[in-house]
């Protein structure tokens, strides 16, 4: 029992450490703002939930802010689903599902505030407080469904390049932990249904459920940070280590390769897709109806560049036109950066100097 009483404190410390690791990080795998925000939210609500569990385990029931985490314990699965969805297919929005979840959340808050009894009081539960139990089971079912959808998303991911052994291990463990979480939620649902008829050792069951749930969400967050999904899907970058000759053993025929290259050029140049700052490798692959691996291969073989450098070259060329356009003389450098598809002044300067050997300001001055 001592371990169960103190385990939430361990999860709280781990959650805080993860937040300190992610929040200030602007490099590597944590570049996409939405995915980063979702992951921070998941870790935060799990840490807050573990704080409530620690207070419950140690008898601090009288605090006014105790067990507020109960109001959003149905959001775990939904947030993880959005997190994986944003990495896999960010152009699609689940607005209707989001609205339904928001309405469900408001309904739970109203239920919580309008009830005369303290729905978190264990004495009420032991008397058979069924509305609380029903609400809890519905929350668990909601989490289970969304975790299942998240697993399906992750399982369908196609990678532009081969993963390293470490990345493969992280990917496998991320999938395993989601599957284990689904199994755990199913077991908790069964356990709570049984508790509707037997309230023996209720406190012990709640401690077990809280400890297992908190530990697994910490583990999932950890592997989500370590696995390079951000670099593949969270931004418009593919593998930054792509080199010539990497695809020498590929079975992509020359005729197919030539057609695919023409399709890529037509898509990028005719449609000017590079102007979209959120344009990604998987967007291009979907447009030309080819695999991520094949698209990345053809770009690398034809240009010697990664996808991000390939796209940035078009942006830089367009920026050069705007910099010397008399009609755009009043445009700031930042305005031009946004106009051509960059999402920051720094990335614009770095790409421009990489392509031309000059900064945008130097290029503009020389052109005069």
| CATH, residue 185 | 1.20.1070.10
| Same-domain pairing of 281 and 141 | no
277: domain CATH number is: 1.10.10.60
Question: Pick from 163, 314, 323, 288: which is nearest to 305 by CA?
Answer: 314
| Same-domain pairing of 133 and 258 | no
Within-domain flag for 239: no
pLDDT at 236: 33
Of 200, 234, 268, which residue is a domain's last?
234
| Same-domain pairing of 264 and 227 | no
Q: What is the DSSP letter of 243?
A: -
| Same-domain pairing of 295 and 226 | no
Within-domain flag for 58: yes
Q: How many domains does the chain have?
A: 2
| Same-domain pairing of 263 and 314 | yes
Cβ atoms of 131 and 112 within 8 Å: the answer is no
Within-domain flag for 32: yes
Distance of alpha carbon 125 from alpha carbon 141, whole angstroms = 20
Distance of alpha carbon 348 from alpha carbon 342, whole angstroms = 6
The domain containing residue 14 runs over which residues? 2-234
| Same-domain pairing of 222 and 258 | no
Q: Taking the model in full, what pTM does it have?
A: 0.57
Q: Name the percent of the chain lying above pLDDT 90.
A: 4
Render pLDDT for 200-228 as a digit per residue (tens, 0 to 9): 555 666 677 777 777 877 887 777 776 65
Of 234, 266, 285, which residue is a domain's last?
234
Within-domain flag for 243: no
Render pLDDT for 193-206 as a digit per residue (tens, 0 to 9): 776 666 555 566 66
Tokens of 210: 């809280």
């Amino acid at each position: 029992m001592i371990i169960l009483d103190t385990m939430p404190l361990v999860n709280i410390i781990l959650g805080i450490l993860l937040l300190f690791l992610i929040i200030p990080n602007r490099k590597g795998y944590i570049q996409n703002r939405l995915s980063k925000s979702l992951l921070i939210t998941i870790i935060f609500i799990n840490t807050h939930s573990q704080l409530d569990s620690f207070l419950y385990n140690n008898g601090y029931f009288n605090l006014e802010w105790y067990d507020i985490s109960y109001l959003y314990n149905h959001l775990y699965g939904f947030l993880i689903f959005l997190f994986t969805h944003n990495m896999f297919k960010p152009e699609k929005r689940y607005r209707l599902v989001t609205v339904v979840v928001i309405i469900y959340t408001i309904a739970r808050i109203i239920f919580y505030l309008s009830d005369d009894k303290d729905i978190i009081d264990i004495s009420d539960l032991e008397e058979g407080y069924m509305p609380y139990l029903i609400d809890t089971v519905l929350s668990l079912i909601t989490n289970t469904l969304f975790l299942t959808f998240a697993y399906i998303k992750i399982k369908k991911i196609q990678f532009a390049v081969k993963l390293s052994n470490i990345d493969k291990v992280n990917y496998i463990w991320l999938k395993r932990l989601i599957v284990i979480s689904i199994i755990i939620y199913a077991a908790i649902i069964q356990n709570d249904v049984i508790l509707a008829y037997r309230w023996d050792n209720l406190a012990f069951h709640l401690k077990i459920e809280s400890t297992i749930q908190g530990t697994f969400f910490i583990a999932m967050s950890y592997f989500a940070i370590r696995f390079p999904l951000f670099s593949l899907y969270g931004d418009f970058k593919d593998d930054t280590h792509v080199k010539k000759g990497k695809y020498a053993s590929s079975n992509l025929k020359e005729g197919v390769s030539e057609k695919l290259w023409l399709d890529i050029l037509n898509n990028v140049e005719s449609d000017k897709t590079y102007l979209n700052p959120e344009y990604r490798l998987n967007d291009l692959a979907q447009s030309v109806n080819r695999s991520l691996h094949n698209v990345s291969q053809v770009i690398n073989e034809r240009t010697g560049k990664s996808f991000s450098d390939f796209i940035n070259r078009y942006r830089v060329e367009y920026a050069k036109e705007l910099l010397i356009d008399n009609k755009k003389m009043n445009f700031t450098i930042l305005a031009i950066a946004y106009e051509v598809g960059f999402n920051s002044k720094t990335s614009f300067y770095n790409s421009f100097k990489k392509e031309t050997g000059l900064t945008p300001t130097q290029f503009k001055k020389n052109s005069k």
